[in-house]
Amino acid sequence: MSDMLNRSAVALAAGIAHKELSAEELMRASLERIAEVNGTVNAVVSLRDAEDCINDARAADNETPKGPLHGLPVAIKDLANVEGLLTSMGSPIFANNIAQKDDLMVARMKAAGAIVIGKTNTPEFGLGSHTFNPVHGATRNPYDPTRSAGGSSGGAAAALAAGMIPIADGSDMMGSLRNPGAWNNVYGLRPTYGLVPLDMPGDVYLHQLAVAGPMGRSPADVAMLLDVQAGLDPRDPHSFAQAPSVPQLEGDIKGMRLGWLGDWGGAYAMEAGVMATCETALAQFESMGVSVDKLEAPFPAEQIWDAWVGLRAFANAGGKGALYDNPDLRAMLKDDAIWEIETGRALSAMDVHRLSVIRSQWFAKLNGLFAQYDALLLPSAQVWPFPVEWKSPRDIAGRAMDTYHRWMEVVIPASLVGVPCLNIPAGFSETGLPMGMQVMGPRHSDGKLLRIGQRWHEANDFAAHKPDLDALKG
């Protein structure tokens, strides 16, 4: 059964569709793996009753395949609603919050045949790229359980890496599909803003930062899930339809031009070994017939950061303000959430306008770069996975981090302006900890980025370097 769990989601779905394996077999194997290693990793939470999951899989075997995910077991990130399951968002405020209906993305995955078996762990409200919370505890890295799995899609990435599920959803406001992807040796795509529609309550115009998207152990798996999640929905005014990604996986990438932004001219502090690992990976691109140019910092990093901090805080103040206004609930918020709300509320309307002008200027500059390059490259993280007991790194290479999320600054050039960005595995530290690189493209280039990623996946053996499952068994 362990061999089955090493197969790609695409291969598993095809096997089920062609009756070469059963959804029940896959479900039993997945539940067995969860029972073996989840006690250590703590990636899957709110797990459904095993017999109910098996019965659903058995029913799937007796049905005509509903769609590309038919019979695949999935666990949904605990920021999204699954009817009948707990949506805690990692907050004690919502520790008993049973969802009354599926979110749009979840409904689309179910309609495509996926079987939801539970949720994946996330930081409180998804704040911070380290998955720990007072409801479900901390998620540990399968490559070293003393280390963080990243976040906020840390549970999803760790579950993928440990073979508990074949494919995973996630979300990404700052870097939550890319940082955990990097730290767990899997792929995570932050899609073009609007490609995966959101049906969350509240304002749908001002706060264009957070996206939902796919994760997988190969770009082909990511593309398969993206095509299920994506597409126009009238409830989201930013949603749109574009050509499916799966057909775009085919084709060569020889002759493409990539730009390497590295540490942004020294603006982004990097832990020892991160840059060297990524730069070694760049040589592999060149051996594939892709040219890579080292670029100067194209825009002041501090301006991008200032715009990001303010606009993110503005969004959090809008979305969580009612919790803050209730003294009893405010006492249950973590300090980072309170800081976000108070920072956002301190902004005037003209402050927000000024920050959005910076965002607009960076978008214009970035479009100029994309006129010259097929994609731009950056590390996916500035540090290796850190001890799971930490809240966040206090400094990097001797440079103090002045906020709880400054250590993630390298991910915001894409996040601020809504362009797609794919994490690809880039290698490992001397102690075996994974690292990744961001491949960032212009709006609507999601399929092209996945094609680059798929050729990368085929040319490298990073996927063969799997966690030591025996070390994870309780």
Residue showing tokens 């595995």: 425
User: Rounded CA gap, 171 and 89, in Å?
Assistant: 12
- Residue 415's H or E segment, with its range, is helix 412-415
Partnered with residue 119 across adjacent β-strands are 45, 76
- Residue 258's H or E segment, with its range, is strand 257-260
Please confirm, yes or no, whether 77 is among the known catalytic residues: yes
Residue of 320, 321, 318, 314 whose CA lies nearest to 352: 314
Active-site residue (options: 129, 153, 171, 176): 176
User: Rounded CA gap, 298 and 318, in Å?
Assistant: 31
Please confirm, yes or no, whether 176 is among the known catalytic residues: yes
Torsion sign across C-alpha atoms 288, 293, 299, 305: positive
User: Packing angle between helix 349-370 and helix 301-325, nearest 10 degrees?
Assistant: 140
Q: CB atoms < 10 A from the CB of 200, how many? A: 17
User: Rounded CA gap, 336 and 170, in Å?
Assistant: 21
Please confirm, yes or no, whether 22 is among the known catalytic residues: no
* 245 upstream amide cis, omega within 30 of 0: no
Active-site residue (options: 30, 46, 88, 152): 152
Active-site residue (options: 8, 77, 148, 380): 77
End-to-end CA distance of the chain: 19
CB-count exposure of residue 224 (10 Å: 0-12, 13-18, 19+): buried
User: Rounded CA gap, 413 and 380, in Å?
Assistant: 11
- 292 three-class SS: strand
| Side chain identity, residue 266 | G
Residue of 438, 447, 13 whose CA lies nearest to 219: 447
| Side chain identity, residue 255 | G
User: Rounded CA gap, 166 and 23, in Å?
Assistant: 12
Q: Which residues lie closer than 8 Å to 210 by C-beta, 6 or more apart?
A: 171, 172, 173, 198, 315
Q: Any idea what DSSP says for residue 464?
A: G
β-pairing verdict for 291-294 and 257-260? parallel
Supply the residues annotated as catalytic. Answer: 77, 152, 176
